[in-house]
Structure 1
Amino acid sequence: MTRHLLPLTLMPLALAAAIAFPAMAGAADSQPAPRIIVSGEGQATAAPDLALLTLSVMREAKTARAALDANNDAMAAVIAAMKSAGIKDRDLQTAGIQINPRYNYTNKPDGSQEAELVAYQVTNTLSVRIRDIDKTGDILDKAVSLGVNQGGGIAFSNEDPSAAVTEARKKAVADAMAKAKTLADAAGVSIGRVLEITDQNIAPPPMPINAKAFDAAGAAVPVQAGENSYVVQVTVTFELK
């Protein structure tokens, strides 16, 4: 289950409850009203409707031109397979192309090393958005059989997570209010109006995969989408009465 952590803090305050009172009763007019600052957390889940893949093809040859040509042919076959599986052009994006020389190093009698250029490696990385996540395993299997041979990433997401995030926010605020009431009751005071609420969004990284672990001759790669958990953390400042 992917955990989407959405801590809600716009001000540098520790997520711990704190109650502040004026230093002197006689200076009430010049001191801010007593307040309490608490943190709250809420969580809501949603079934993912998008699979996000990062697939890489690496080819090696004696010259950079030959390596690039071989890579182009392999990646073209992968892209054609993606389109034949129903992936639209808007959901296919080249994420990067790298051309790197590969050297062999030998030790010389004087203790130094001699570098010999033996090949060039070309790596092309493709980002794929799959809107029918039931096809994810088949698409992975087909991509590997056609030339994907480098580790990439897979993540399951929601095209519109706003409903789940809204539910999590409501639960987080309710949690903060319950904490504030408990602390205020223990201190012999009561909570008043809300002075400030803050939040912040943080997305999780994708889960790494290893293309070499897939058996291109076997059945489709087993993939479980699970559900996405959206967690919201809030910091709320209440006035005390």
Structure 2
Amino acid sequence: MPSHRHFMSSAPLRSGGLLALLLLATAGCTRQSSPGQSESSGGTLVTVSAQAEARQAPDMAMLSTGVVSLAPDANSAIRRNAEQMARVVASIEGAGIAAKDVQTSGVSLNPDYAYVANRPPRIKGYYASNTVNVTVRDIGRLGEILDALVATGANQINGPMFDIEDKDAVLDKAREKALAKARARADAYAKRLGLRVTRIVSIDETGGRGVPQPMLGRGAIVEQAAAADASAPIAPGENVLSVTLDVVYELEK
């Protein structure tokens, strides 16, 4: 009997201890979603999002170029294509493009069908195609390089896509702007609540890589320049890189 009374009296204590642990765990898991505020053990947390952009002229361009050849039979198509493509690759090398910046992206051989009503398709020839991706690191010579490609037999050109080789310095400018925006918003929340910003709890960054920018109307420009025997006009403009920051600040009295 004594042991029974001891067991009954200790049960409420264990329940109270468990409740206390649950309350502590709940307080420790307090978290804030943007925008808003929540109480932590040290103060009020506020999460703000800020996006900023930075611009810079590109310093490199990517394009794809190649040759499509048509011949009555497959062997002739492949041979003709290889001869033409060899001249195109030679012109790329002659322009000073490093071997690491030239990569084959596709080789294909496809039949060319003749269609006649009420009859099955008939193969009348073969298309052979070979395409390479080229990175141009001196975009000031891009027009000259495009002209050389056309002159040596390239009949497929896609691009250029402009990009920035070293994005870190540009992204740092965007980060600085985004962080300033975030702090200004946190200060506005703090002022309205009669508090002050004491520290940054965490920073989460998204975005930041940017996408290479295409040059519009590229096909027409290359064709017109080739017809006029003039260098293709190139307008690289500026690339835009953006960063979004989710910053958690702590506010106190």
TM over 0.5: yes
Give the number of equivalent residue pairs.
215
Residue number in structure 2 paired with 1:185 = 191
The residue type equivalent to 2:139 in the other structure is: I
Are residue 155 (structure 1) and residue 164 (structure 2) matched?
Answer: no
1: CA distance between counterparts of 2:163 and 2:98?
18
Residue number in structure 1 paired with 2:63 = 53
Residues 84-163 of structure 1: pairs in structure 2 closer than 5 A: 84-108=94-118, 114-163=120-169
The residue type equivalent to 2:60 in the other structure is: L
Choose which of 46, 49, 64 in structure 2 pairs with 1:36: 46
* Larger gyration radius, structure 1 or structure 2: 2
Residue-by-residue CA offset, 1:207-240 (whole Å, 9 max, x unaligned): 2632773442420000022232322221112223
Bigger drift between 89-98 and 194-203 goes to 194-203
2: CA distance between counterparts of 1:175 and 1:54?
40
The residue type equivalent to 1:54 in the other structure is: S
SS in 2 for 1:210: helix
Shift of 1:140: 0.5
- Pair 65,186 (structure 1): closer, same or farther in 2 beyond 3 Å: farther
The residue type equivalent to 1:47 in the other structure is: A
Residue number in structure 1 paired with 2:241 = 230
SS in 2 for 1:45: strand
SS in 2 for 1:230: strand
Are residue 204 (structure 1) and residue 211 (structure 2) matched?
Answer: yes
Residue-by-residue CA offset, 1:85-130 (whole Å, 9 max, x unaligned): 221222211121122222233332xxxx622222221221111122
Shift of 1:20: 2.9
The residue type equivalent to 2:135 in the other structure is: R
Answer 1 or 2: which has greater strand percent. Answer: 1
Residue-by-residue CA offset, 1:179-217 (whole Å, 9 max, x unaligned): 222233234433332222112344315526327734424
1: CA distance between counterparts of 2:235 and 2:251?
49
> Could you tell me whether the CA contact under 8 Å between 2:61 and 2:137 is conserved in 1?
yes
Shift of 1:35: 2.1
- Pair 61,238 (structure 1): closer, same or farther in 2 beyond 3 Å: same
SS in 1 for 2:202: strand
Residue-by-residue CA offset, 1:58-101 (whole Å, 9 max, x unaligned): 11122222111111111111111112122122221112112222
Answer 1 or 2: which has greater helix percent. Answer: 2
> Could you tell me whether the CA contact under 8 Å between 1:56 and 1:152 is conserved in 2?
no
Residue number in structure 1 paired with 2:36 = 19
SS in 2 for 1:181: helix
- Pair 122,188 (structure 1): closer, same or farther in 2 beyond 3 Å: farther
Bigger drift between 204-213 and 182-191 goes to 204-213
- What's the TM-score once normalised by structure 1's chain length? 0.78
SS in 2 for 1:172: helix
Shift of 1:151: 4.3
- What's the TM-score once normalised by structure 2's chain length? 0.75
Residue-by-residue CA offset, 1:131-173 (whole Å, 9 max, x unaligned): 2211100110111122222241212222222211112111111
